[in-house]
Structure 1
Amino acid sequence: MEAIRRWLSANGTVRGTYGHLLLEQRAETDDDLVAAMRPYFESAHLDAREYFHRQIAIDLHPDAGAPGAHACYPNCLPPTARRGLFGEVMAGMITEAFQRNFVGGHTWRIPIFLFRYHADVEAYLWSLAREPEREREIFGRFGSDFIGLSLNGEGEVVRFIAGEAKWRGRLTESAVGTLMHGPWEEDEETGERTRSGRGVWFEVNRDSPVPHGLRQLQRLLELRDPDGFQATILSIDRAVLLDAAPLPRTNLVLIAGNGARNREASDVLIGWEATPEEYTAPHDLQVVELILTDGTDLIDGLYSTLWQEER
């Protein structure tokens, strides 16, 4: 966390139930930064790695040249998929590292990531392990990109944060407009171009009060640490009942990528003065803009070295 705070400058504001945090890269990506971030990324992907490797019948840490060694998760995934995973892990890391800057002042914990629930990754790895030439792009995972919890002194969930994390190689106004509001569509009769309205705002606004990801997280805690999270598991069990009162919720929207070429320092792409009018959900909203200068180098440096013996 200390390395992250040295790497990024933070400029945050909170207006009632809306928070905006601008994170800008202020130090170069180097081997020390990659080494500092690697344990967090390995921890974030460990559950999925163990699960996928069992499913596709390869060792957790296969020797070089062993059957299936080329299909290790997440190193073998295509670049687009790894960039998506990077955004999701960063959503968790930023939530924990900069929670004092977040709306509500809650204490957040990300006990486990939901990566094992990515069905197309499992299908991809199964084929790739058996036919190395079967490389292809991967469909995204459905549901929340990550879930974080706020726990009371007894370990019960009192609030959760559900995140949407999006990576774009270049964060231009046009790219973010498409991301948040959907692609342009042209009316066949008038020729008028309008946004489809099916972007991030649409997905966040229509999400159910208790997302499926909360149940998925509970199931993972039951598998991984049922004793350590006993109170957490029981409180989620009560919260997902159909007639239960909804848990208090915070929504997180993270957009990450390299800044536009003509970008000036402190420029933002989503307004910070007031809650965006496109946001209509009743929950607190936290927006994070992660503006990097060499983000692709960082992603490649991280994912190419996860679980490598020689560091």
Structure 2
Amino acid sequence: MTNNYGHILLEQKAAIDDELIRALRPYFESAHLDARDVFHHTARIDLHPDAHGPGGNARYPNCLPPTARKGLFGEVMAGMLVQAYQFIGQHHWSIPIFLFRYHAEVEAYIFALARDPARVREVSGRHGNDFIGLGIDPATKEVVRFIAGEAKWRASLTPAVMNELMLGEWDGPAAEGVRKGDGIWNEMNTGLPAPQGLEQISSLLREKARDEYAEAIVSLDRALLLGAAPISRTDYIFVAGNKAARRAAGQTYLPSNAPPPEYTAGRPLQVVELVVSGGVDLIDRLYDSLWKPE
């Protein structure tokens, strides 16, 4: 870790079991609760419908197809790790709420699925930053910094897959082409000083916790005005995936000491790599378990 760059490698040591699923479940249910309320209300299904009742097949997030689940898993894990580990700058990060309700395609998918169970299909990812957290001053209660970035899951995480994630796909055959440059590094470099996610968090706090976060809301409102001085930003990249067969213990695929030349934003940057085995099974077991009795 340097003054402006941090890297954490997390590697699975114990087997995935029921105890791990039980430990993760409360955080994942909390992360998805707001979107669950919104999507169920829009689709006119009960929050806790009987398994055989109308709409029981369309409960969020249990009903989501595999690719969508994997994307959500990465975003929630990114938030969990922000709160569990000391990141670059030693800031204290708060995650008042996740932004999953702002996923129009999932909302439409659940509405249709509740009325026609045969309409199972994949859905595209949510637009905008995958993750946003707030740095709230403990004395003034104002937002003085935020952390934002990208969270990705890949079932097979190899160097080639990591390069595609970070740099974009090849424009032409790999042996002859060039990278499109539309990967994660580009997302970081072109990130707005005040992204739309801050407006979405501000709106949700006004709706759900106006009194508790009054000072934070006011400070966000000031920072979101056109031409206003931006709040300091920390960038965050979280990449998780299954351990590749040739990946040695302790091996990193992203730089561990300093950012690469492809990162030009110049902001404090935190990178986390999570390496697991049987990750697809973990995600399925975890999401199948949400809001279900033991």
| Equivalent residue, structure 1, for 2:95 | 110
| Equivalent residue, structure 1, for 2:123 | 138
| Equivalent residue, structure 1, for 2:23 | 36
Candidates 154, 158, 164, aligned match of 1:168: 154
The answer (yes or no) to whether the contact 2:5–2:257 under 8 Å persists in 1 is: no
The answer (yes or no) to whether the contact 1:156–1:235 under 8 Å persists in 2 is: yes
Long gaps (5+) in structure 1: 1-13
Q: How far 1:268 moved relative to its partner?
A: 0.3
Question: Residues 21-100 of structure 1: matches in 2 within 5 Å?
Answer: 21-98=8-85, 100=86
Whole-Å separation in 2 of the counterparts to 1:71 and 1:125: 6
Could you report, residue by residue, the CA deviation over 1:193-232 in whole angstroms, capped at 9, with x for unpaired residues?
2211111111111111111001101111111111111111
| Equivalent residue, structure 1, for 2:6 | 19
Could you report, residue by residue, the CA deviation over 1:29-75 in whole angstroms, capped at 9, with x for unpaired residues?
11111111100000000000000000111011111211111000000
Q: How far 1:262 moved relative to its partner?
A: 1.0
The answer (yes or no) to whether the contact 2:68–2:123 under 8 Å persists in 1 is: yes
Give the counterpart letter for 2:239 in structure 1: I
Whole-Å separation in 1 of the counterparts to 2:42 and 2:172: 45
Give the counterpart letter for 1:218 in structure 2: S
Whole-Å separation in 1 of the counterparts to 2:254 and 2:12: 18
After alignment, is 191-200 or 117-126 more displaced? Answer: 191-200
Q: How far 1:282 moved relative to its partner?
A: 2.8
Q: How far 1:163 moved relative to its partner?
A: 2.1
Whole-Å separation in 2 of the counterparts to 1:64 and 1:293: 31
Could you report, residue by residue, the CA deviation over 1:8-43 in whole angstroms, capped at 9, with x for unpaired residues?
xxxxxx112111111111111111111111000000
RCO greater where, 1 or 2, for CA within 8 Å and sep 6 or more? 2
After alignment, is 215-224 or 70-79 more displaced? Answer: 215-224
Q: Quick check: 1:123 aligned with 2:108?
A: yes
- Deviating above 4 A after TM superposition, structure 1's stretches of 4 or more consecutive aligned residues are none
Give the counterpart letter for 2:227 in structure 1: D
| Equivalent residue, structure 1, for 2:178 | 194
The answer (yes or no) to whether the contact 1:253–1:286 under 8 Å persists in 2 is: yes
Candidates 119, 132, 144, aligned match of 1:158: 144
Q: How far 1:169 moved relative to its partner?
A: 0.3
Candidates 230, 249, 266, aligned match of 1:282: 266
The answer (yes or no) to whether the contact 1:92–1:110 under 8 Å persists in 2 is: yes
Whole-Å separation in 1 of the counterparts to 2:164 and 2:269: 20
Could you report, residue by residue, the CA deviation over 1:253-301 in whole angstroms, capped at 9, with x for unpaired residues?
0110111111100000011121111101131111110111121121111
The answer (yes or no) to whether the contact 1:91–1:163 under 8 Å persists in 2 is: no
Give the counterpart letter for 2:192 in structure 1: S
% identity of equivalent residues: 56
Whole-Å separation in 2 of the counterparts to 1:269 and 1:115: 29
Whole-Å separation in 1 of the counterparts to 2:50 and 2:5: 49
- TM-score with structure 1 setting the length: 0.92
Q: Quick check: 1:242 aligned with 2:226?
A: yes
Q: How far 1:243 moved relative to its partner?
A: 2.0
Could you report, residue by residue, the CA deviation over 1:147-198 in whole angstroms, capped at 9, with x for unpaired residues?
10111123110100002000000110011111111111128xxx82221111
Could you report, residue by residue, the CA deviation over 1:91-110 in whole angstroms, capped at 9, with x for unpaired residues?
00001001x2x111111111
Whole-Å separation in 2 of the counterparts to 1:226 and 1:63: 34
The answer (yes or no) to whether the contact 2:243–2:275 under 8 Å persists in 1 is: yes
